[in-house]
Amino acid sequence: MFNKIGIFGKYSGIQSWDLIDKLILYFQKKKKTVILDQRSCADFPIERYGIARLERDELMKEIDFAVVVGGDGTFLDVARYIVDYNIPILGVNLGRLGFLTDVSPDTMMVTLDEVLADDYTCEERTLLHVLIKKDGETLFDEVAFNDVVLHKNDSPRMIEFETFVDNRFLNSQRSDGLIIATPTGSTAYSLSAGGPIVDPGLNAMTLVSINPHTMSNRPVVVSGDSEILIRPHDNCNGTASIICDGQLTFQIEAKHETYVTRHPNFIKMVHPKNHDHYELLRAKLNWGQKL
């Protein structure tokens, strides 16, 4: 039973306030404690509701259920923080596509009634842990829910790098970059780069080249227990970056080594009881239309 609810909104603020208002009143009617995220709801008028607003590190220690109001980008940001706290998370979609925030505002109350009645679906999703090192020193230590992307900076030139899987040499390539994606991230940037759609229940990672110079470079699927190592060539100084979920960026140089592994903890995603991943794919990708 969930009793302490954390609500996270869009950083742009006011467009999510109407739904946040409805959520607060709903949970208060159900005699639940509601706490807002300071980072995304800093300007929300909490005084009229008599509720608290906490910084994210403190908020995570107080809640047992998280509701994200926004798009997939908002969900990604919250997921990276919440993964180490074992808190179930539900997304209400204010964005465009909504693979992660899959609850419609129109059905939000019905879904929450089911959740509070312990009548819902919960699945575990994997994340990635990325370390960037130079001469044994860790320079970047972050988490990604969708993908870790090596991408060239603003330059028409391709970048050159080597990829290793579990200390075994995979390939050397020239391209615009490489996407290392979780099964969840297989429907994000990886999909647009020609990568496969991977069932979210699989323990796997996909490696998808971005505009490779050689057409023989194809997407590769490896075990989720693998360690991926990326080593840029000497001519990559200042020309490439590592990007987590399109939100966290670190510029790499020739002597940087990027290690990507599965994060030890999982995200617990809450869905309506009739949630069907393949139905979601059909709806979002227009697969069900007659030709």
Q: Is 41 helix (H, G, I), strand (E, B) or coil?
A: coil
Amino acid letter at 55? E
| Secondary structure percentages of the chain, helix, strand, coil, to 5 | 25, 40, 35
**Contact between residue 35 and residue 4 where contact means Cβ atoms under 8 Å apart:** yes
Whole-number Å distance between alpha carbons of 281 and 276 = 9
Torsion of CA 108, 111, 117, 118, to 10 degrees: -130
**Contact between residue 176 and residue 159 where contact means Cβ atoms under 8 Å apart:** yes
What contacts 152, CB < 8 A, 6 or more positions away? 158, 159, 176, 177, 239, 240
**Contact between residue 220 and residue 207 where contact means Cβ atoms under 8 Å apart:** yes
**Contact between residue 65 and residue 87 where contact means Cβ atoms under 8 Å apart:** yes
Joined together, the tokens standing for residue 4 give 């302490």
Ranges assigned E (strand) in 85-186 = 89-93, 121-134, 137-144, 147-152, 159-165, 168-175, 177-181
The terminus-to-terminus CA distance of the chain in angstroms comes to: 46
Output phi, psi for 257, to 5 deg.
-115, 130
Torsion of CA 182, 124, 114, 108, to 10 degrees: -20
Q: Which residues are known to be catalytic?
A: 72
**Contact between residue 205 and residue 228 where contact means Cβ atoms under 8 Å apart:** yes
